[in-house]
Amino acid sequence: MEIWINPACSKCRSALSLLDAEGTEYTVRRYLEEPPTVAELEAVLARLGLEPWDIARTGEAIAGELGLKTWAREAAERGRWIAALAEHPILIQRPIITADDGSAVVARTPEAVRSVLD
């Protein structure tokens, strides 16, 4: 199991605490320091069953600079979104947990974290 975190994020710290309390083995990826590649983002999105705009943090300053809120949310623009997430990883929603069974979840709630523990 791997969890993508930003150590400054309270939701990330909460997810780590829950994983620790459950005695779960996991690997931490500080995705701001080790950004995911386009291929990794595509793989995680497939596992999540989501589109790139579903995991984009549109309230970040860089999102405003890019005009992200105005970008079309359609298949033809998917590559543009993924490229932006890869180039500016601060735009990626967190934490994201990828489980060994192939599942993945945006783990912003305790329930979401627990969903990959079963």
Catalytic residue numbers? 9
The token pair at 106 is 């945006």
Nearest to 36 by CA among 100, 75, 74, 90: 90
Cα dihedral across residues 52, 58, 61, 65: positive or negative: positive
